[in-house]
Structure 1
């Protein structure tokens, strides 16, 4: 009896669980839901009430290639990427429920943008040896990202090494990799000069206000902020980050593992956008440097 009850519960849960959609269902509906992080310039944000940004424009190109309309599924970051994938791609958030079906979420993204395209992460296992990301497919790398330092040239002549921040204050987003790096590298000698902010944009604003002499963040974010500032006093450093480990990574997309065909079709579209130079043009419109992901660099070589 217990087995029958358990099977019934599992069957009910599976039937009612929130699902993304098959490729044919997306085409038939005339709409594709593109998942993008909220308030995350220059990748995805709102301007005058309309969604804009690099990831939004790529999503629009995908929709155009499919002959459907794009609707943005805004993602608010949770505690981890695993949470974001679960809440927005394959299961749904427990607070986002359909009133008619308490087991199903109202909203899921058909495709989620800005997910690390990383084999090690894709096959990450938990403490019991089980795959953490077995419910999603990570695919379609479309950009290589790096860490970048920007500095106020009226405070610093140059940044040839991060060791200069033993003597000059630098702003970082709290709990980010730059935060951990600058507070621990070189025996913690930069810790006292590492100032914490809720976002990279707040750190840059602090540099403009004279609170810090530099900022460290993702290259595209820093490029965007320098472009928005429009002041030649803010310059890009060319230093590396000794002992940091991975300093560059590829960005791709994610779909539910049940809808691999949708991912395959999106992958074809994005590859054409990369090879035609269209994605590089999108980045240029936001004053961002574009770097091919490793998959395409390897082919080019």
Structure 2
């Protein structure tokens, strides 16, 4: 057996962490069109999660192979296609997936993956255009004005049902929450509900637009927020534990907050990481 063949055979049977180091590559799965977390920017994957992925690879001493994928019907589809089996159209499984909901019911339902390292707390918020009026008012106050929202999202369902559905005819559906918030900058919308990260990023990207961010909570919002973390295949625990250590180090030394800040987003610790 040649040295090359021997090395290949060794990698094939090595533990996942050692295999990543032997191959010199960490393959990371990220959601496509998920600004400010991950999106294609002129042929390069940009975003908070993309920066985190590269930092993880650098800490392991390997190259990051960041792969974008489009969300499936539900998170179980994404975990199957990206983490433990691969996609039916040839998408190869990744070593790790980022931006995974860190929720107990999901952990109990998915026995092919391990959920680790919650690194941020997602929440919902609202924002108004410069001339949009009182952003602290109840959403129903914006009846008759253009309201942007991501199609088929929690904010969409929230606004559709708010105050008996009085806003239904005012909703303008867009592909992402970031798009919904960014629409406030050019006057095509006066109000939006999106994730806090999407709003903060859009505000930073349109600093001169005068977008106003709601300070108070949204009345009757059905979601209090959720933590996001990473997922690895069930038999890749040693890789997952090492990545968890790196993420904890990044949080402790301020690198995590700095990555978020570079995208205009304030880092918030995951609730489950504080227990």
The two structures have a TM-score, normalised by structure 1, of 0.81
Among 88, 97, 103, the alignment partner of 2:82 is 88
Q: Which residue of 2 aligns with 1:236?
A: 213
Among 123, 138, 150, the alignment partner of 1:146 is 123
Q: Which residue of 1 aligns with 2:5?
A: none
Report the CA distance shift for 1:281/1:115 in structure 2 as closer, same or farther (over 3 A).
same
Matched, 1:66 2:60: yes
- Conserved? CA contact 1:241–1:247, under 8 Å: no
CA deviation string 1:111-142 (max 9, x = no partner):
0010001112222xxxxxxx3x1111111101
Work out the CA distance in 2 between the residues paired with 1:206 and 1:42: 15
Work out the CA distance in 2 between the residues paired with 1:50 and 1:231: 27
CA deviation string 1:150-201 (max 9, x = no partner):
1113121332332323353311001000000111132222222222222224
Q: What SS does the corresponding residue of 1:207 show, helix, strand or coil?
A: coil
Matched, 1:271 2:248: yes
Work out the CA distance in 1 between the residues paired with 2:183 and 2:41: 23
1:1-301 alignment, distance < 5 Å: 22-96=16-90, 107-123=92-108, 131=109, 133-298=110-275
The two structures have a TM-score, normalised by structure 2, of 0.88
Work out the CA distance in 2 between the residues paired with 1:280 and 1:47: 22
CA deviation string 1:22-46 (max 9, x = no partner):
1111111111101111232211123
Work out the CA distance in 2 between the residues paired with 1:290 and 1:211: 29
- Conserved? CA contact 1:161–1:239, under 8 Å: no
Work out the CA distance in 1 between the residues paired with 2:197 and 2:182: 16
Deviation at 1:206, TM superposition (A): 3.8
Work out the CA distance in 1 between the residues paired with 2:221 and 2:211: 24
Higher Rg: 1
Q: Which runs of 5+ in 1 are unaligned?
A: 1-20, 97-105, 124-130
Work out the CA distance in 2 between the residues paired with 1:165 and 1:247: 23
Work out the CA distance in 1 between the residues paired with 2:238 and 2:174: 41
Report the CA distance shift for 1:159/1:153 in structure 2 as closer, same or farther (over 3 A).
farther
Q: How many corresponding residue pairs?
A: 262
- Conserved? CA contact 1:162–1:239, under 8 Å: no
